[in-house]
Amino acid sequence: MNESVRIVNTILYCRQWQETVVFYRDVLGFPVTFKNDWFVEFKVNAHARVSVANDQRATIKSSGGQGLTLAIQVDNADEVWQLLQPRGVNTGKVKNHPWGGRSFFLYDPEGNRLEVWSA
């Protein structure tokens, strides 16, 4: 199957739908590739998407941010951390890991954890 996969899309079902849409669009700056009145898809890169669905309109309900981490590898975690600070994002500190990477955590309005890391 992996040879035929073109794009991977993670769908987040949200009670705080409007706030979560604003977070991914305006705070993180992910471009919108599709939207309607209850579902918005964002382009992370050429092969990855994150979508935000209003759980009041969807058949699946929000998990309230439990049991999910979106891990996003970037070129430089420190630079991304610096970019997010003036936008008012509550991030943890950038930390070193024994495997040589650097990362920090933040949460979207729905409570989903995001890890931003670089090697």
Q: pTM of the full predicted structure?
A: 0.93
High-pLDDT (> 90) share of the chain, %: 95
Q: What is the pLDDT of residue 101?
A: 94
Summarize pLDDT for 19-48 with one digit per residue, the tens.
999 999 999 999 999 999 999 999 999 999
Q: How far apart are CA 61 and CA 30, in angstroms?
A: 23
Residues 77 and 116: beta-carbon distance below 8 Å:
yes
How distant, in Å, are the alpha carbons of 51, 70, 85, 103, 108 from that of 12? 6, 10, 24, 22, 11
- CATH H superfamily, domain 2-56+64-118: 2,3-Dihydroxybiphenyl 1,2-Dioxygenase, domain 1 (3.10.180.10)
